Amino acid sequence: MSPDPLLHLAVALDGAGWHPAAWREPDARPEELFRPGYWTRLVAEAEEGLLDFVTIEDSFGVQSADFNDVDDRVDQVRGRLDAVLTAARVAPVTERIGIVPTIVSTHTEPFHLSKAIASLDYAATGRAGLRVQISAKPYEFALVGRRTTEPVRIQDINTPEVQARIAEHFSEAADYIEVIRRLWDSWEDGAEIRDAATGRFIDRDKLHHIDFEGEWFDVRGPSITPRPPQGQPVVTALGHSTIPYQLIARAADVGFVTPHDREQARAIVEEIRAEQETAGRSSQNLHVFGDLVVFLDETQRAAEERRARLDDLAGQPYASDAHIFTGTPSELADLLADWRHAGLTGYRLRPATLPHDLEQITRRLVPELQARGLFRTAYEASTLRGHLGLPRPASRYAADSALAAL
């Protein structure tokens, strides 16, 4: 009998941590949040733990407790650095860990982001990815000014009108990803000749117009950036329901989902796998990671007391779209080992506070998983696709070039 595949692990980095009062912890460094050293230290810690990758949160509007408008709170972290630029700063001072910034498809252009992530893949020598996120917040639409959207009440989220609007955003995101992937392919491997003696820098026959015409974008191409080292950097997306699950199944390499128990995880994975088959991608390796917020300490009591202290500072109990785990790294290892039997191939952990919970992951959870034979003991690949067992894809246009040469 062959051993079970090892788990994949990622961490989601956001400000001082995912709890809104995290910046008030004794070991927090709020004065460094907008300095590059803060982020390089966090990612270096994640790399010491041999994690597959980190994601870096981003948004178009300032953080707000109100979904539809900017709140007036002053007791929570507000403001962000650009995730792609932060990733570019981190890339040259790390060696193996994947770096996955968040991009908002609703308010950006795929041509610009395709070359930004391709450039990041060069800076990271093949360790780049991106997390595609939509925006449905009216105040973010107002910041960009190209279009508007109506406010959404949580109690109306499942109405046909709101679901239709959400479907539009995800349809746009699907086209966005397709354009990006085609632009990455628009330069074939070996398109750059760089032969000074003959005066030929590129082979023009290996550059291709993508001629994409869709509901949301018309993009001719080609890209201005040569094909990334990975061919196509890793595309990830977060989903909570059927519409985003369809995006994951049809367009992503890694999907993040938010089950709250093993049976819910099983149902989500089965739905995504069914959508993957419908999309004709059943032969492709698509990872499904469970997202969890984690409060980790030496004892469960210590973790619970820390969470309660943070809730008191915030003025209300912390709530999340994801399952909130409060306990020891060993107990978390039990949960991860159990939920993997629902079909999850890995996990993206959201540290409640930084650096505390990140260090609990890298210095205590990882050794516990290694002792159980569930996690790597060394990096065996040098690219993010390699960490995830994803093959490097050939350019879709290379076959056309070969036929044209006959």
DSSP string, 266-320: HHHHHHHHHHHHHTT-TTS--EEEEEEEEEE-SSHHHHHHHHHHHHHHHTS----
Residue 15 lies in a domain: yes
What pLDDT is recorded for position 148? 85
DSSP string, 75-115: SS------HHHHHHHHGGG-SSSEEEEEEEGGGS-HHHHHH
Residue 127 lies in a domain: yes
What pLDDT is recorded for position 155? 81
| Nearest 10 degrees: Cα torsion 114, 279, 267, 7 | -50
Domain enclosing residue 232, as ranges: 8-148+228-405
Could you give the CA distance from residue 297 to residue 158 in angstroms, rounded to a whole number? 38
What pLDDT is recorded for position 46? 98
Please, how many CA atoms are within 13 Å of residue 379, restricted to the half-sphere of its CB?
21
Residue 33 lies in a domain: yes
Residue 141 lies in a domain: yes
Could you give the CA distance from residue 237 to residue 249 in angstroms, rounded to a whole number? 10
What pLDDT is recorded for position 1? 41
Structure-block tokens of residue 274: 């069914």
Structure-block tokens of residue 292: 């969890």
Residue 159 lies in a domain: no
What pLDDT is recorded for position 406? 47
What pLDDT is recorded for position 156? 81
- Identity of the residue numbered 308: A
H helix and E strand count, the chain: 13, 13
The answer to whether the pTM exceeds 0.85 is: yes
Is residue 257 a contact partner of residue 291, using CB atoms and an 8 Å limit? Answer: yes
Could you give the CA distance from residue 102 to residue 364 in angstroms, rounded to a whole number? 27
- Identity of the residue numbered 110: P
Cα–chain-centroid distance for residue 387? 15
The CATH number that applies at residue 69 is 3.20.20.30
Residue 238 lies in a domain: yes
Residue 154 lies in a domain: no
Q: How many domains does the chain have?
A: 1
Phi first, then psi: give them for residue 191, nearest 5 degrees.
Answer: -70, -25
Structure-block tokens of residue 170: 């995800």
Could you give the CA distance from residue 325 to residue 335 in angstroms, rounded to a whole number? 9
H/E stretch holding 146 = none
| Nearest 10 degrees: Cα torsion 179, 185, 187, 189 | 170
What pLDDT is recorded for position 401? 61
Residue 162 lies in a domain: no
Segments of the chain scoring below 50 in pLDDT: 1-2, 406
